[in-house]
Amino acid sequence: MPTLRGQTTGSGAAGVLAERSTFNGVLALPITDGHAQRGAARRGGGSGGSAAGTAGWLARPLAIMALVGALAPTTAVGQGTGRAWEVQVSAVEEALGGEFEAMAYFPGSLVIHAGDTVRWRFEAVHTVTFPAGRPAPPRTVPGPGLGEATLGPVHFPAGGAVYDGSEPVNSGRPLFVPPEAFAYELTFPLPGVHGYVCLLHPGMRGEVTVLPAGAPLPETPEQARARGEATVAPLLALARADAAAARLEATSGVHAALAGVANGNGASAKLFLPGDLTVKRGDTVVWTRADAFDSHTVTFPGPGNAPPAFVEVRPQPSGEFLFVQPAASRSRSPGNNYAGEGLANSGILMSPGGTYLLRFDAPPGTYEYLCLLHPEMKGSVTVTG
Ligand SMILES: [Cu+2]
């Protein structure tokens, strides 16, 4: 399988990313990716934290942001002379130790005129992708190193600012920019029914129906936006209810915990439950991914350590950049015992129901962990003597 590279065009700060390999007919790999950047940006924005390890957790994502700040994907610029429509991509509500997310397009369907422009406004890490009947491109490709993966075309913009159903277009995903600073615009010149998807979250889909200019429309852009906004609160309420309904029982020496909770209706509680766990030295904790919609990791960086970067940007001699998920963040660390220092990482829990087991034969103390895909998602295990 080919290695995919981002390529710089132009020069210096004016350079923009162009993805050389676009939709190439390669089937998607069963690998998912997530939301590391928004959390990093939010914490960089000063929400702070009291844990001793927080400063170290900030350092690495921010260093990468500074390094590649000039490489943020640009958004397409609409060409339309018609009306402007707006769709909100996902909705997020802060929660203690994480967040709730309504993973959908608001509104999910639009009926517009040929020549109109739709603008997608992002609140979290997703894509807006019109596949034009093509198979989805790979999310990641293996390599270059053992246990590593390189981000595939899913993550990068492809196609122009116009969609007529003949060639795929992809927004790419917010990468090294906060989602709120990321937007995507498309103009639809021809009548037709166009479905679109998020390539990171299977099940997240929307539709744009384009009617000939002059045909009656069911609603105005303002009415469509209000219809979308009205569905946000009920979905977020479902995510809160899912989290509240989680029942966890400890048997002797074994503690159950959840990494994310969602039942597939598109509302996801990005939380560890319980967020703070107290165990006796020698006890075991088993985490289960109870989130049908989104992948997570259970990652203990170890006291005083920064967590492994989820994506590293590696300049190549050719002047291109590789966007690499290092083995330390992608892959499960060896062993099932945590002695209280160093990295213990589940790797990406890619399937619902996936588990991670750790026995805590560690000195008494509180050990903090996080999800590398959603760094705002945090928990702790306190070991007593
Ligand atoms: Cu998504």
Q: How many residues does the chain have?
A: 385
Tokens of 365: 């103390």
Q: Is the ipTM of this complex over 0.85?
A: yes
CB 70 within 8 A of CB 177: no
pLDDT (tens place) for every residue of the chain, 385 residues total: 333 333 322 222 222 222 222 232 222 222 233 333 333 333 322 222 222 222 221 222 222 333 333 333 444 444 446 999 999 999 999 999 999 999 999 999 999 999 999 999 999 999 999 999 999 988 999 999 998 999 999 999 999 999 999 999 999 999 989 999 998 999 999 999 999 999 999 889 999 999 999 999 999 999 999 999 999 999 999 999 989 888 777 788 999 999 999 877 788 999 999 999 999 999 999 999 999 889 999 999 999 999 999 999 999 999 889 999 999 999 999 999 999 999 999 999 989 999 999 999 999 999 999 999 999 999 999 999 8
Tokens of 253: 């020496």
Task: Give the H/E segment covering residue 328.
Answer: helix 327-330
Please give the distance, rounded to the nearest whole angstrom, from the Cα atom of residue 87 to the centre of ligand 1: 14
Please give the distance, rounded to the nearest whole angstrom, from the Cα atom of residue 229 to the centre of ligand 1: 18
Task: Give the H/E segment covering residue 58.
Answer: helix 54-68
Please give the distance, rounded to the nearest whole angstrom, from the Cα atom of residue 340 to the centre of ligand 1: 35
Please give the distance, rounded to the nearest whole angstrom, from the Cα atom of residue 115 to the centre of ligand 1: 27
CB 325 within 8 A of CB 64: no
Unique residue bearing structure tokens 């967590």: 307
Please give the distance, rounded to the nearest whole angstrom, from the Cα atom of residue 128 to the centre of ligand 1: 8
Q: What is the Cα 52 distance to its own chain's centre?
A: 26
In whole angstroms, what is the distance from residue 93 CA to residue 207 CA?
25
- What residue spans of 91-248 are helical by DSSP H? 221-245
Residue type present at position 246: A
Please give the distance, rounded to the nearest whole angstrom, from the Cα atom of residue 86 to the centre of ligand 1: 17
The pLDDT score that the predictor gives to residue 23 is 31
Please give the distance, rounded to the nearest whole angstrom, from the Cα atom of residue 44 to the centre of ligand 1: 23
CB 355 within 8 A of CB 287: yes
Bridge-based pairing state of the strands 337-338 and 355-360: parallel
Show the domains of the chain with their CATH numbers.
15-235 (2.60.40.420), 241-384 (2.60.40.420)
pLDDT tens digits, residue range 191-233?
Answer: 999 999 999 998 899 999 999 999 999 999 999 999 999 999 9
Please give the distance, rounded to the nearest whole angstrom, from the Cα atom of residue 314 to the centre of ligand 1: 25
Please give the distance, rounded to the nearest whole angstrom, from the Cα atom of residue 126 to the centre of ligand 1: 4
Residue 84's closest CA among 221, 197, 250?
221
Please give the distance, rounded to the nearest whole angstrom, from the Cα atom of residue 212 to the centre of ligand 1: 30
CB 201 within 8 A of CB 90: no
The pLDDT score that the predictor gives to residue 52 is 25
pLDDT tens digits, residue range 160-203?
Answer: 999 999 999 999 999 989 999 998 999 999 999 999 999 999 88
Please give the distance, rounded to the nearest whole angstrom, from the Cα atom of residue 201 to the centre of ligand 1: 4
Please give the distance, rounded to the nearest whole angstrom, from the Cα atom of residue 102 to the centre of ligand 1: 10
Which residues have CB less than 5 Å away from ligand 1 (the ion)?
126, 198, 200-201, 204
Please give the distance, rounded to the nearest whole angstrom, from the Cα atom of residue 350 to the centre of ligand 1: 15
Q: In this structure, how many other beta carbons lie within 10 angstroms of the beta carbon of residue 350?
A: 13
Q: In this structure, how many other beta carbons lie within 10 angstroms of the beta carbon of residue 269?
A: 29
Whether the ω angle into residue 107 lies within 30 degrees of 0, i.e. cis, is yes
Q: In this structure, how many other beta carbons lie within 10 angstroms of the beta carbon of residue 243?
A: 22
